[in-house]
Each structure stands twice: as structure tokens, then as C-alpha cells.
Amino acid sequence: MIDLELDKDSRAAVITFANSPSGLFTGAMAKELEDQVDSLAQNDTVNTLILTGTGSTFIRHFDLDELAASADALAEAPSPPDATWQDSVFHRITRKLESLPQVVIAAINGTCMGVGYELALACDIRIASAGDYDLGLPEMHIGMFPGGGGTVRLARLVNPAKALELIATATTVCPDRAEQLGLVNRVEEDALAAARGLAARLACLSRNALAAAKRITLNARDLDIESALTFEQREVNGHLGSDEVRTRLRTMIENGIDIRTPPPSAIDTRNSKEG
């Protein structure tokens, strides 16, 4: 089951994986999540999407009973050789998360392994709660490799050598070690509270500018430098002359406002100099 909360003050949507006590992810949850993401893609009042879990679990891993049934079905009726990522509901979900105009934050509140961490990898920012729990991709222990984008996204997040080491050894790590390795952005006492605080900071900012910044940074990792700069320049050309930007610039100039000052209604919950 997946719960959706809309916070108008912080312009944030919070999706909670209400799958206690097992903490497992299922095919039914995948379909429900895809529907929620599709709906949010059309919601122009939301700047931030937060994904989180319940209790001490974000997502433990995929339901092994369902996975075994899928393995049996695949053995009986193999997939065609021309299959693509679009044939997988999970790949569709993660690509849709990456394509959303909203900034997507994984508020990792506890155990986050397998498909749970693959989902977190598709988020723009990963914040983990402090605690004694595991994050990572242990699929090798079932004779399989991560099949929900973990191999690809982890290699891009860290580097291929480190990603292969972690995947091949089925390594899971504690939150502090995950931060050291770059698997999460940072560790906070309460990941959801920190994610809500970040969403509050983003609430007053331009949705169009946030969406463009997300597109540019995600494209930057896949393009050569000149193609990436061209992509950025085209985004600049499409945004700088907008009424939104011109009005804000005039307001700042006429009132002597420092560029470090956020627009009115900003909620400053964290030092704005921090990354």
C-alpha cells in the first residue's frame, strides 16, 4: 500500500510505503506507485516529491515469493530478444521519477536494500536517517544481480569499479558508511524531517527553474562537455527572458536585495551555503 500526502505550505508531495511489518515491495505496489508518479507529473502546484517508508524500513527488498513466481514464468516463457527497459514497470517508474519536473528526495528512514535502494538511486537527492540499519544491493546472494537499474545507476553515482565491488560482494553498509561512499547525500537524525525542511526551502522557488536545473544536471552526466553546455544554453534562452525572471530581477535591483536572499515566503531551515 502507498499513501500520498500533499503539503500545500511546502508545495511537497510525500509518498509513504505503508508496507509494515514486512517492508517488502510488491508488483501491486509498483503499479500503484507508477499511477501516483503519473499523476504528480501533471501537478503544477508541487515543487518536491519525497519518498519514504514506515517504522524502521524504507523498503527491505522485493517480495521473494513474487520474484520466484516471476522466475518460473520466465523459465516457461522467455522474454523476446528485443525486450527493452520499457517492458519493466520498475524501469518505467524510475525513468519517470528522473523525468519529473519536481525535485525527488528519498527520505531513507531505515532498511533500504535491493529494489528499495534502486528506487532511491533514481531519486535526485538521498537523505538517510542516522541509525543501525543496512543500505545496498545484496542481490548476488540469490544468484542474481540488481535488475532494477542498480547496476547502471550505481556505476554512474560512484564509479564502475567501486559499483562492481559493492554489487559483486553483495555489500550492504550502515548510513554513515553510505555517506562516506557517496551512496547518500547526507545522514540526518530524521531523514523525513530533513527532507521536509529542504522541500520548504524549495517551496518559494521557481518551479520552471527547478525543473530546468534538474534536466541540465541529469543530462550533464551523459553528454560531452560541449553538448551539455549547448543544452544548458538553450534552457537559458528559454527561461531568462520570462516574465518570472525579469520581474524578480527588477524587484531585486530596485530594492537593493542581495542575491543570497531567497524570494518572499522562503522557509530557511538549514544554512543556505550547504550543499
Contacts of 4 (CB under 8 A, 6+ apart): 13, 14, 15, 16, 36
Per residue in 65-85, pLDDT (tens digit) is: 999 999 999 899 988 888 898
What would the grid cell of residue 76 be? 516457461
| Confidence band for 7, pLDDT divided at 50, 70 and 90 | confident
**What does the pLDDT average to over 134-140?**
97
pLDDT at 79: 86
Predicted TM-score of the model (pTM): 0.91
Residue 270 in this model has a pLDDT that exceeds 80: no
Q: Using the predicted structure, report yes or no on whether residue 29 has a pLDDT greater than 60.
A: yes
Q: Residue 12: which of 46, 41, 59 has the closest Cα? A: 46
Share of the chain above pLDDT 90, in %: 84
Lowest mean pLDDT among 136-145, 173-182, 258-267: 258-267
C-alpha cell at 216: 541540465
Between 249 and 271, whose confidence is greater?
A: 249
| Angstrom distances, CA of residue 213 to CA of 152, 176, 257 | 22, 28, 23
pLDDT of 60 strictly over 70: yes
For the chain, list the domains and their CATH numbers: 2-202 (3.90.226.10), 207-255 (no CATH)
Catalytic site positions = 118, 139
Average per-residue pLDDT in the chain?
92
Q: What is the pLDDT of residues 141-180, one digit of tens each?
A: 999 999 999 999 999 999 999 999 999 999 999 999 999 9
Look at residue 265 in the predicted model and tell me its pLDDT: 60
Query: Looking at residue 24, what is its pLDDT?
Result: 96
pLDDT score, position 269 = 39
Alpha carbons 10 and 79: distance in angstroms, whole number:
44
Phi, psi at residue 203, to the nearest 5°?
-60, -35
CA 174 to chain centre: 19
Digit-coded pLDDT (tens) for 179-229:
999 999 999 999 999 999 999 999 999 999 999 999 999 999 889 999 999
